[in-house]
Structure 1
Amino acid sequence: MAGKDEMTDGTAEGAADWLGPLFARLKTAVERAAEAVCTDEDLDADAAEKLARRVGVIARAAKLVEAIRPRIEAEDSEEDEMGGRSYDPEETERVRARLEASCERMDALLEIKRSEAAERQRLATAGPGDAPASASAESSG
């Protein structure tokens, strides 16, 4: 059995060299298996269970074979590596500014919530007569 290094040179092009033929072979095998399964008509309980298992195996194999397709069809270009998007510095800056504004709003909300929680904790630990005295001590300190 050939090792990984023998099958590809480590590049996308090398991977496509062996993935393409593998995809074709696996697709053909899955189609043949599906055809064999679909032609069974008279089944007893055991045969029906075996058929269901075979269908499950075929479905998983088909899903794996289909997952290979995008790698084969993808072109080796810079845009494909970037997810098909072109780089726009202005858009990046707009998104960054919106993100920073959102983070600042969240920080402010968190600070308010922390202050409210600290005040509730202080009131819960202070006695009923201690609350005004401690409040005036905090404001003078």
Structure 2
Amino acid sequence: MFNKKSIFTFLQAQVAAFVGGITDYGIMILLTEVFKLHFSFSILISGTVGAVINFSINRFWVFKNQSGYSSHINSQLFKFALVVLGSISLKSLGTLIFQKAFQIDYRIGRVVTDLFVSYGFNYPLIKYWVFKIKKTDVVKSN
């Protein structure tokens, strides 16, 4: 079921998610704590910045769809933008629920929410929808 390549790809994707996520989380804290924005707005802004970083790392390192696939970048960007919109919405809602319903600090609620969103929503959609390589693309590159 799992081979070395799929495990390595998963681990690379986790590095991309971690770098994008740390950037996202750090900007959220900065905007909320220093600039006093509500955390929902901070998540929107920070999530966008983190998404740009995550997309770039995924495209050029994890799934290596940069060379020979330039015609697909618009499709990938559109699909990735939809995933990001869903992800930011889920993170904002989840963080708000943890904070309002359970009185859990937004920083902790965000980390817990991120774990569920990252593994259950982002990774499957990014791997199997955004950066899915079609068999015709593999033939073209050979």
| TM-score bin (small chain) | under 0.3
> Structure with the greater relative contact order (CA < 8 A, sep ≥ 6): 1 or 2?
2
TM-score under structure 2 normalisation?
0.27
TM-score under structure 1 normalisation?
0.27
